[in-house]
Amino acid sequence: MSHDISMNTEIAARQLEALGNETRLDIYRHLVRAGHAGLPVGHLQERMGTPASTLSHHLKRLLATELVTQERQSTVLICRARYPAMRALVSFLIDECCADEACGPSPGA
């Protein structure tokens, strides 16, 4: 299966580690739910009730792992989930599901 971005164990580990923090996971879920339009940082801050400095710290980590992008539109900073990165990470986790097991119908299927 081909992915929009390449995925290896090191990248997956860094992304999973970033998402292993409750605040970052919450930020990421808000951005995923927002869709391709993303959310202005101010709206994200309001929704989460997180101080600006804390939000900035966590966003930097998500940006560094390429799970999130930011784009400046005039005076507004828009954050978006990187869907190709999300798909690659999820695929990395499930692509080899049961690969070492003989593939056949599951019991009761």
| Rg value, the chain, Cα | 17
Report the pLDDT value the prediction gives residue 4, as an integer from 0 to 100. Answer: 43
Report yes or no on 104 lying in a domain.
Answer: no
pLDDT tens-digit readout, 15-46: 999 999 999 999 999 999 999 999 999 999 99
Residue 72 lies in a domain: yes
- pLDDT recorded at residue 65: 96
- DSSP E strand stretches across 1-109: 39-40, 68-73, 76-81
- 2 pLDDT higher than 70: no
Residue 107 lies in a domain: no
Domain region containing 25: 9-94
55 assigned to some structural domain:
yes
Tell me how far apart the alpha carbons of residues 103 and 1 are, in angstroms, rounded to a whole number.
Answer: 18
Count of structural domains within the chain:
1
Closest CA to 79 of 68, 89, 66: 68
CA 62 – CA 23 distance, rounded (Å): 11
Q: For 58-85, how does the pLDDT look when each residue is reduced to its tens digit (9 = 90+)?
A: 999 999 999 999 999 999 999 999 999 9
- Using a cut of 0.85, tell me whether the model's pTM lies above it: no
CA distance 86 to 65: 11
